[in-house]
Amino acid sequence: MLYPSIDKLMEKIDSKYTLVAVASKRAREIQENNDCMLEKTVSRKPVGKALEEIAEGLLHLQYDEEKGNL
């Protein structure tokens, strides 16, 4: 995968493991609901679309301390 670059993604979310978890959850939402927040994407696959949304700053990480999850 060339776009978005890992460097650009790491500017938004500082942990690779958290990045994978967030992208995975968002990709599942995209696949189930077909509701990508971008009008035009480079990628056709849900994971690529999720990563593009993260790179564009459309997704924000929110940690729930009570439940201990994202």
Identify the pLDDT of residue 60.
77
Range of the domain at 24: 6-55
Is 28 domain-assigned?
yes
Identify the pLDDT of residue 17.
93
Is 15 domain-assigned?
yes
Q: Is the pLDDT of residue 70 over 70?
A: no
| 30-53 per-position pLDDT tens digit | 999 988 888 898 899 999 999 999
Is 45 domain-assigned?
yes
Is 48 domain-assigned?
yes
Is 65 domain-assigned?
no
Band of the pLDDT at 61, cuts 50, 70, 90? confident
Number of compact structural domains in the chain: 1
Contact of 37 with 58, CB cutoff 8 Å? yes
Stated pTM of the model: 0.82
- Burial state string for 18-53 with b = 16 or more CB within 10 A and e = fewer than 16: ebeebbeebbeebeeeeebeeeebebeebbbbbbbb
Is 69 domain-assigned?
no
Is 61 domain-assigned?
no
Identify the pLDDT of residue 69.
66
